[in-house]
Structure 1
Amino acid sequence: MTFVRHKDGSGIKVEQLVAHFEGKGGGSSLLKRCVHFEDCGAVGRHGELRLRSAFQPLFLAATMAAVAHEALLRVHDVKMRAVSPEQAFKIPKTPEQIVHFDRLCRTIHAINFVTQAQPDAVLYLNVDGRHLLNVHNGTHGSFFETLLGYCGLRPTQVVLEILESRIGDLDRLVEAIAAYQRRGFRVAIDDFGCRHSNFDRLWRLSPDIVKLDRSLIVQSTVNPRARQILPKLVDIIHDLGARVVCEGIETVGQHALAVNSGVDMLQGYLYAKPAPHLQYRPQSQMAAS
């Protein structure tokens, strides 16, 4: 049996994890089919694509302590040419391919996270909206919960980020979010404020966390009306029972606006750029002060 060491010394049951992922019996050959290990950690294989992880921390606005890390996909082809995540997610076409690719990305991230993180650490994972629509009968999260167990992660340690504005079938989205939450996963609505995002959808979705689209903080730095609206927007989301993340912070001025608006968490290049290793302190001393 193959193990990869967790930071606390426990083992990740890699062969069992991959066997469950493939839906077949054991056998080390499965490791060569979709997951292998390099010095940088676990690497996924999907056709000619190689899938790796980068992590960006989220900081508490009140203390600037890192409270979670978001996993971001980094993709290269066999010639090590970079492929954007958006391009990579367009490659799977059939429902089976879409589900397989989305699960593979999250599995790679989970493995790379637990080999570095403390036992109770929190991981944010993006979920392809098409995946949500291709899983039926309220079974969302059941397969992934088992995979997480092989990694030593619990659903309560995972926040699933969903870009709800791209999903037209609201009833199916409500069903998916409720199913995830029943299993203990928390759900974050990503990029709220862009496209067709609106509060009517938020009321129905009942997310645990709302991540504000970067355009809101950018507009607040140049538009007095937007600057007045931002704290009111945060108050409304709090009234819905959700916490607020302001992402895409790149300047000290944006940092101050976000903090003064009452957001709960902050994320952006001002504090830390995505990296293969977990980061726990803001790189900018001005933001940390």
Structure 2
Amino acid sequence: MSFVTNKDGSAIQFEQLIAQFEEQGGDSPLLEHCVHFEDSGAVGRYGNLSLRSAFQPLFQADSMRAVAHEALLRVEDDRQRSLSPEQAFRTPKSPERIVHFDRLCRTIHAINFAAQAEPDAVLYLNVDGRHLLNVRGGTHGTFFEALLGHCGLRPGQVVLEILESRINDFDRLIEAIAAYQRRGFGIAIDDFGCRNSNFDRLWRLSPDIVKLDRSLIVQSTGNPRARKILPKLVEIIHDLGARAVCEGIETVAQHSLAVNAGVDMLQGYLYARPVDRLQHRPTSAVTGTADLYPPGS
């Protein structure tokens, strides 16, 4: 596979992109030669870790059309042992290396996405909360916007997913989100409904998208009270001016519950598992299931 051009024929400026990263890495051998290319696409290198991309589509609830793809990190060490993204993100310790590692992961995903995606396609990227706190002065997104430009992508094509419940410095979080939004990035609050999530924080953050934690749909499957609450949560999210995503859908019953609750987008293993190629259609049939849980049941 050639990673010289995007799908629309525009060039991905690899040399400029890598040079920009190497300049940021300084003289540390841990950060040198941080991007290379294999048949499967761009691969990041951080110490003894290899960083690759997998993509899972998000589907429009009313049409089951893929409207975006979330990039997920796949990590192996030199012994080809798999690490979870959580383990990998604990590797960098200093503020500078935390920022570098987070940017590196997002850039690898952007390269691999841009090489496959249609023009104006939308990419969801996770952002490490420590990165948000280590970048100061409202400059969030400045460096990454330049890197996206080398890939032929614009901030308006990128939605940054943030786990707000894990960030204690709420004022800094507000500052970071505002800075990203000023540059055109979309903001999604991830796993809403777990830990310390609450609507007061959501109101102050003004996200574009809210991704509901999988526990909400799981509880709704077996608990009639939770089933009645789910549509009300979605309604409040809509009242805030945001779109609602139900993630972690694994069964037809969960699909029906989410659709009947009025969510805008759906994501989960029922439709597609994460792979290195962009998928645009569900891998299983999910139509004709709305009568399993009629509205108000």
Task: Confirm or deny a common fold (TM above 0.5).
Answer: yes
3-state SS of paired residue (2:211): strand
1:113 is aligned to 2:113: yes
The root-mean-square deviation of aligned C-alpha atoms, in Å, is 1.6
Residue pair 2:48, 2:77 contacting (<8 A) in 1 also: yes
1:101 maps to 101
Q: Which runs of 5+ in 1 are unaligned?
A: 26-30
SS at match of 1:11: coil
Q: Quick one: distance in 2 between partners of 1:3 and 1:274?
A: 20
What is the 5 A alignment of 1:149-188? 149-188=149-188
1:9, distance to aligned residue in structure 2 (A)? 1.4
Amino acid at match of 1:267: Q
Query: Is the 2:55–2:276 Cα contact (8 Å) retained in structure 1?
Result: yes
Q: Does 1:18 align with 2:47?
A: no
Q: State the identity as a percent.
A: 78
SS in 2 for 1:63: coil
Q: Which runs of 5+ in 2 are unaligned?
A: 26-30, 290-297
SS at match of 2:286: helix
Q: For residues 288 and 108 of structure 1, what CA distance do their matches in structure 2 show?
A: 38
Tell me the CA shift for residue 267 of structure 1. 0.1
Task: Give yes or no for the alignment of 1:60 onto 2:60.
Answer: yes
Distance, in Å, in 2 between the alignment partners of 1:68 and 1:268 is 13
Q: Does the 8 A contact of 2:22 with 2:32 survive in 1? A: no
Larger mean Cα displacement after TM superposition, 172-181 or 11-20? 11-20
Q: CA 1:288–1:12 in 2, change beyond 3 Å: closer, same or farther?
A: farther
Structure 2 equivalent of residue 28 of structure 1: none
- Give 1:197 deviation, angstroms: 0.3
Structure 1 32/176 Cα, relative in aligned 2: closer, same or farther at 3 Å? closer
Partners in 2 of 1:224 and 1:24 — Cα distance? Answer: 53
- Please list the CA deviations of residues 31-77 of structure 1 after superposition, one character each: whole Å capped at 9, or x if unmatched: 97100000000000000000000000000001000000000000000
Could you say which residue in structure 2 is the equivalent of 1:130? 130
Q: Residue 69 of structure 1 aligns with which residue?
A: 69
Map 1:2-17 onto structure 2 (within 5 A). Answer: 4-17=4-17
Quick one: distance in 1 between partners of 2:211 and 2:109?
20
> What is the rounded CA distance, in whole Å, between the counterparts of 1:222 and 1:288 in structure 2?
21
- 3-state SS of 2:276 partner: coil
Aligned-partner residue type, residue 55 of structure 1: F
State whether structure 2 residue 239 is matched by structure 1 residue 267.
no
Q: Report the AA paired with residue 285 of structure 2.
A: Q
Question: Which residue matches 2:294?
Answer: none
What's the secondary structure of 2:4's corresponding residue? strand
Corresponding position of 1:92: 92
Deviation at 1:80, TM superposition (A): 1.1
CA contact (8 A) 1:43 1:50 kept: yes
1:240-279 pair list within 5 angstroms: 240-279=240-279
For residues 189 and 125 of structure 1, the distance between their equivalents in structure 2, rounded to whole angstroms, comes to 11
Separation in 2 of the partners of 1:136 and 1:111? Answer: 26
- Describe the SS at the equivalent of 1:124: strand
Give how far 1:22 is off: 2.6
Question: Hey, what's the Cα distance between the residues in 1 that align with 2:287 and 2:6?
Answer: 31
Structure 2 CA distance, aligned partners of 1:212 and 1:154? 26
**1:158-237 mapped onto 2 (5 Å cutoff):** 158-237=158-237
- The residue aligned with 1:281 is 281
Task: Report how far residue 181 of structure 1 moved.
Answer: 0.2
Aligned residues: 283
Query: Does the 8 A contact of 1:50 with 1:76 survive in 2?
Result: yes
2:113 aligned partner, one-letter code: F
Structure 2 CA distance for partners of 1:24 and 1:186, relative to 1, 3 Å: closer
The whole-number CA distance in structure 2 between the counterparts of 1:271 and 1:5 is: 29
One-letter amino acid of the counterpart of residue 50, structure 1: S
Residue 64 of structure 1 contacts residue 288 of structure 1 at CA under 8 Å; is this kept in 2? no
**Partner secondary structure for residue 33 of structure 2:** helix
Alpha carbons of structure 1 residues 83 and 288: separation in structure 2 relative to 1, 3 Å = farther
Contact 2:21 2:34 in 1 (8 A): no
Distance of 1:45 and 1:154 partners within structure 2: 25
